[in-house]
Protein backbone atom coordinates (compact mmCIF):
# COMPACT_ATOMS: atom_id res chain seq x y z
CA UNK A 1 0.00 0.00 0.00
CA UNK A 2 1.53 3.37 -1.00
CA UNK A 3 2.28 5.93 1.69
CA UNK A 4 2.17 9.69 1.31
CA UNK A 5 3.50 12.09 3.91
CA UNK A 6 1.57 15.29 4.47
CA UNK A 7 3.27 18.12 6.28
CA UNK A 8 0.87 20.24 8.30
CA UNK A 9 1.74 23.71 9.51
CA UNK A 10 1.44 24.36 13.23
CA UNK A 11 -1.57 26.65 12.68
CA UNK A 12 -3.50 23.86 10.87
CA UNK A 13 -2.95 21.04 13.39
CA UNK A 14 -6.18 21.83 15.27
CA UNK A 15 -8.15 21.68 12.01
CA UNK A 16 -6.74 18.23 11.22
CA UNK A 17 -7.52 16.99 14.74
CA UNK A 18 -11.09 18.34 14.57
CA UNK A 19 -11.64 16.70 11.15
CA UNK A 20 -10.52 13.34 12.50
CA UNK A 21 -12.73 13.74 15.57
CA UNK A 22 -15.79 14.55 13.46
CA UNK A 23 -15.15 11.76 10.95
CA UNK A 24 -14.47 9.13 13.57
CA UNK A 25 -12.26 7.33 11.08
CA UNK A 26 -8.79 7.46 9.61
CA UNK A 27 -7.77 10.93 8.57
CA UNK A 28 -6.67 9.59 5.18
CA UNK A 29 -10.34 8.86 4.33
CA UNK A 30 -11.27 12.44 5.17
CA UNK A 31 -8.44 13.81 3.04
CA UNK A 32 -9.39 11.62 0.07
CA UNK A 33 -13.03 12.79 0.26
CA UNK A 34 -11.91 16.42 0.46
CA UNK A 35 -9.59 15.97 -2.52
CA UNK A 36 -12.39 14.33 -4.54
CA UNK A 37 -14.67 17.31 -3.86
CA UNK A 38 -11.87 19.75 -4.69
CA UNK A 39 -11.10 18.08 -8.02
CA UNK A 40 -14.80 17.79 -8.93
CA UNK A 41 -15.37 21.50 -8.24
CA UNK A 42 -12.37 22.41 -10.36
CA UNK A 43 -13.57 20.24 -13.26
CA UNK A 44 -17.06 21.75 -13.11
CA UNK A 45 -15.58 25.25 -12.99
CA UNK A 46 -13.71 24.48 -16.23
CA UNK A 47 -17.12 23.70 -17.78
CA UNK A 48 -18.49 27.06 -16.58
CA UNK A 49 -20.44 25.54 -13.71
CA UNK A 50 -20.34 26.31 -10.01
CA UNK A 51 -22.03 25.30 -6.79
CA UNK A 52 -25.45 26.95 -6.64
CA UNK A 53 -27.52 27.35 -3.50
CA UNK A 54 -31.23 28.18 -3.81
CA UNK A 55 -34.16 28.32 -1.41
CA UNK A 56 -37.12 26.15 -2.35
CA UNK A 57 -40.57 25.94 -0.85
CA UNK A 58 -43.05 28.45 0.48
CA UNK A 59 -42.38 31.02 3.20
CA UNK A 60 -42.02 29.39 6.59
CA UNK A 61 -41.26 25.99 5.07
CA UNK A 62 -38.25 26.80 2.92
CA UNK A 63 -35.13 24.71 2.70
CA UNK A 64 -31.83 25.21 0.96
CA UNK A 65 -31.04 23.10 -2.10
CA UNK A 66 -27.50 22.86 -3.49
CA UNK A 67 -26.32 21.61 -6.85
CA UNK A 68 -23.63 22.15 -9.46
CA UNK A 69 -24.80 24.09 -12.50
CA UNK A 70 -24.77 27.25 -14.56
CA UNK A 71 -27.58 29.76 -14.91
CA UNK A 72 -28.95 29.79 -18.45
CA UNK A 73 -32.07 31.88 -18.09
CA UNK A 74 -34.95 33.22 -16.10
CA UNK A 75 -38.73 32.97 -16.25
CA UNK A 76 -41.22 35.51 -14.89
CA UNK A 77 -44.97 35.24 -14.99
CA UNK A 78 -48.35 35.48 -13.31
CA UNK A 79 -50.66 32.63 -12.44
CA UNK A 80 -53.59 32.12 -14.83
CA UNK A 81 -55.91 33.99 -12.45
CA UNK A 82 -53.31 36.79 -12.00
CA UNK A 83 -53.28 36.19 -8.23
CA UNK A 84 -49.59 35.51 -7.76
CA UNK A 85 -46.37 36.34 -9.57
CA UNK A 86 -43.56 33.85 -9.97
CA UNK A 87 -39.93 34.40 -10.80
CA UNK A 88 -37.73 31.39 -11.51
CA UNK A 89 -34.10 30.96 -12.52
CA UNK A 90 -33.26 28.20 -14.99
CA UNK A 91 -30.05 26.22 -14.58
CA UNK A 92 -28.19 23.63 -16.59
CA UNK A 93 -26.92 21.02 -14.15
CA UNK A 94 -24.04 18.59 -14.24
CA UNK A 95 -26.26 15.54 -14.65
CA UNK A 96 -27.27 14.46 -18.10
CA UNK A 97 -30.84 13.39 -18.75
CA UNK A 98 -31.85 10.91 -21.36
CA UNK A 99 -31.80 9.37 -23.81
CA UNK A 100 -35.51 9.63 -24.49
CA UNK A 101 -37.14 7.15 -26.85
pLDDT digits (tens, 9 = 90+) for 69-88: 888 888 888 878 877 777 78
Task: Give the contacts of 64 (CB within 8 A, at least 6 positions apart).
Answer: 53, 54, 55, 56
Looking at the fold, whether 39 and 62 belong to one and the same domain comes out as no
Domain region containing 32: 7-46
Using a pLDDT cut of 70, give the percent of the chain over it.
93
Residue 2 lies inside a defined structural domain of this protein: no
Looking at the fold, whether 55 and 85 belong to one and the same domain comes out as yes
Q: d(Cα 14, Cα 29) in Å, to the nearest integer?
A: 17
- What pTM value is reported for the model? 0.51
Amino acid sequence: MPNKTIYVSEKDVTLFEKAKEIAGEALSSVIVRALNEYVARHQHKEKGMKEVSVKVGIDGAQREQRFIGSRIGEWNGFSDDKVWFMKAAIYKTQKEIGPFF
